[in-house]
Structure 1
Amino acid sequence: MAGNYQESHGKIQNLGSRCQPNALHSTKPIGSFLGLGSVIDDLWETAIAPNTRQAYNTGFNNFILLLAGIMASVNLSNLQVTEDMLIYFVAHCYNLKLSYATIKLYMCGIKFMCLKHNIPFPSSAELRRMYAILGGVKRARGKISRPRYPVTFNILKDVGLCGYLRQKATSFEDLMMQTACIVAFFGFLRCGEFTVKTSFDHTVHLCVSDLIITDEYVMVHLKKSKTNPFREGVKLKLFKVGGILCPYVACCNYVSARLRQNPSPDDPLFIVDNGQALTRSIFIAKFKHVLQCIGINSELYNGHSFRIGAATSAAAAHVEDHLIKVLGRWSSDAYCRYIRTPQSCIREAQIALTKH
């Protein structure tokens, strides 16, 4: 079934993103007469984040493809989504080995795209059977959690991650990796905040001009982040802390080397040897390679390990909770789940219970 699905998927590409409101109605929308059609389209595009929009389009496309395989024809102008259609789609996704989270996201995408194209969609009260089926998927799949170990300060220093890169230091790329790791740690950064997914966009990603060096600290300007989706911008200050992993010194050394390449202010801040922006995949690959070189199992770490490690190291250093929230730019107590508590601390806590 998966093979047939992939074959039919190739025949219809990005249906959700191509379906415009004008194509769904025989009459011309009022907005078109007023010259507002393009404005409305733009507002639909900006109603959700780009990554969410891509996932929603994928879910909707797959849903239409399934209907095309079981119905004589699919006419979006008179389509009416039913609970049974959604139940069949959930079962179809389950057969394709998709996770519960992915299936649930696709269902949200179908609902959103139906709203966008004015396609009738059942209310929550009319979807009780479908939600029960989703619950079955959740229980059948079980909870799959990938281990995400923290990159703590101890892993970074001395003969650790940055220590290895400093000793190696045979290219500009080694200096770049060392600096990116230190900035990611002290800035509590998510991987997507200092790397690019595919192509570089100076309006979104870190540029040379986004790192400003003052006498006391380095200012890093994040144009967009997970907790700042409206691109109001966040300015992080990395102070002089001394020692071999001082973020201020690391940034100064890197910027000096980067400026010798005569970049423009809008060029990417972190680049590899071929001059291209540092992508997430390249960073993760190099990061894991270094971990293997220093004898650490790289399968237990990923790009989020720096943010987890910073929170863990801060807690171990008895940094107050409210400061950890500020450093990591958390708006809730979600930071607590990032802190990895050593077994020795648990043992000491249990011993303390016996003393009262």
Structure 2
Amino acid sequence: MKEELSLDSIRKINSTLLASLAEATRTSYGAGLLRFSEYCDREEISELRRMPASSFLLSGFIAEFSSTVSGSTIHCWMSGIRAWHILNNAPWHGGDEFVSQVKKGAIKLSPPSSKRPLRNPVTLEHMIALQRSINLLSSLDVAVWALACVAFWGCCRLGELAVKSEVSFDPAYNVDRNARMTFTSSSSSRSSQESVSLHIPWTKTTREQGAEVNVTGHAKCSPVDALKAHLELSADAPKSSHLFSYRDQSGRWRPLTKARFLDRCHLVWNSLGLLKIHGHSFRIGGATELLLGGIPPHVVASIGRWKSMAFLLYWRKVSEVVSNTFSSSYDPDRFQSIEKAFEDFRSRLKIPASAVSSS
């Protein structure tokens, strides 16, 4: 590169390459690079042999931590090393079959203590309790309720709707009031139903392409009613502000952070003795409730923006938590009907049962 371009051009390329990685991603990738550097130091690997790293060097690195960390941690570390190679335009051997096989072995050898348990789901009981406790005249409460409903029925990751911190709000990553939002209504001989489609600018999987979050009104805890109420109460908020921003006691508009949102939810749920949940619990709970309501798995997968195989694996893990921890919250017969629906879903996709049960 130095032979073809000026130093100024090289600097611009490097800064542009770094911009392709989110700040949080660069931080997590940095941990992998640190571990890799420490491993190479212990093995007395020269700087020249570290990049491009051979398939044997990468395999040795993986094997070094195979019995001490989780498979997801190793995957994250390897992603960081791969990004380091890409940024330096170096060949990458991490996709070699030999390395892939070692990674499979590392996943199987990872200790149970390294695996984070799946989050408990938000249930309809949680949602109804929150609905009954909110103050419809409180800008914060109405914003919290709107976000909760969209996250639950839209099977969203909380980070797709709430902001990490007030100072980190960025329209390139966080949904604002200029977001494309469409309310529609449909009617049949039996009933009429409203829905809303909301474009979010960034997701974990699609990145800057964003995604469409589609939620439908429900008799209980309607996301359409909740969102409309929030938009009406906050009609004079700046167009450039966070979609779920609220007015504080001093009259200032603030973006709704994940921490502030969960604090308000937990204040209600703790007072009623409901099981504590986490941010990802809305995605789990929403999918579970939709399935219990008779929505076919492929439709729920579409709502939550899962790939078919990923959703099958996801549900296999979720079903264990739901059946063991929340048996009193869900009708066993309805739960069994979901299992049958998933079996039919797997069969139609021609995915072997072993591929799901062994993952």
Q: Verify same fold: TM over 0.5.
A: yes
Structure 1 residues 93-125: Cα deviation after superposition (integer angstroms, max 9, x where no partner)? 679x64342133213322431343256776766
Kindly report which structure 2 residues correspond to 1:1-356, keeping only aligned pairs within 5 A, or say none: 28-32=2-6, 36-38=9-11, 40-41=13-14, 44-45=17-18, 51-65=24-38, 67=40, 81=53, 98-117=69-88, 132=102, 135=105, 138-142=108-112, 144-157=115-128, 160-166=129-135, 171-198=138-165, 199-210=168-179, 212=181, 214=183, 216=185, 217-231=195-209, 233-241=210-218, 243=219, 245-259=221-235, 262-271=236-245, 273=248, 275-298=253-276, 301-336=277-312, 337-338=314-315, 340=319, 342=323, 344-345=332-333
User: What SS class does the counterpart of residue 30 from structure 1 fall into?
Assistant: coil
For residues 203 and 345 of structure 1, do their structure 2 counterparts lie closer, same or farther at Cα, with a shift above 3 Å needed?
A: same
Which amino acid letter does the alignment assign opposite residue 329 of structure 1?
R
User: What SS class does the counterpart of residue 210 from structure 1 fall into?
Assistant: coil
How far has the Cα of 1:335 moved from its partner? 2.9
- Asked whether the equivalents of residues 196 and 280 of structure 1 are also in contact (C-alpha less than 8 Å), the reply is yes
Structure 1 residues 178-212: Cα deviation after superposition (integer angstroms, max 9, x where no partner)? 11111212222111110122400012211122264
For residues 290 and 92 of structure 1, do their structure 2 counterparts lie closer, same or farther at Cα, with a shift above 3 Å needed?
A: farther
- Asked whether the equivalents of residues 219 and 235 of structure 1 are also in contact (C-alpha less than 8 Å), the reply is yes
Q: What TM-score does the superposition give when structure 1 sets the normalisation length?
A: 0.69
Number of aligned residue pairs: 310
How far has the Cα of 1:254 moved from its partner? 1.1
For residues 123 and 62 of structure 1, do their structure 2 counterparts lie closer, same or farther at Cα, with a shift above 3 Å needed?
A: closer
Which amino acid letter does the alignment assign opposite residue 298 of structure 2?
H
Q: What CA distance in whole angstroms lies between the structure 2 residues aligned with 1:250 and 1:284? A: 17
Q: What CA distance in whole angstroms lies between the structure 1 residues aligned with 2:215 and 2:94? A: 49
User: What SS class does the counterpart of residue 220 from structure 1 fall into?
Assistant: strand
Q: What CA distance in whole angstroms lies between the structure 2 residues aligned with 1:131 and 1:214? A: 49
Larger deviation: 331-340 or 132-141? Answer: 132-141
Q: What CA distance in whole angstroms lies between the structure 2 residues aligned with 1:235 and 1:125? A: 36
Structure 2 unaligned blocks of 5 or more = 186-194, 341-359
RMSD over aligned CA atoms reads 4.0
How far has the Cα of 1:213 moved from its partner? 6.5
Partner of 1:7: none
Structure 1 unaligned blocks of 5 or more = 1-21, 23-27
Structure 1 residues 238-289: Cα deviation after superposition (integer angstroms, max 9, x where no partner)? 4554x45222221222112212xx3221111223536432222332333333
Q: What CA distance in whole angstroms lies between the structure 2 residues aligned with 1:66 and 1:75? A: 12
- Asked whether the equivalents of residues 90 and 134 of structure 1 are also in contact (C-alpha less than 8 Å), the reply is no
Q: How much identity, in percent, do the aligned residues show?
A: 24
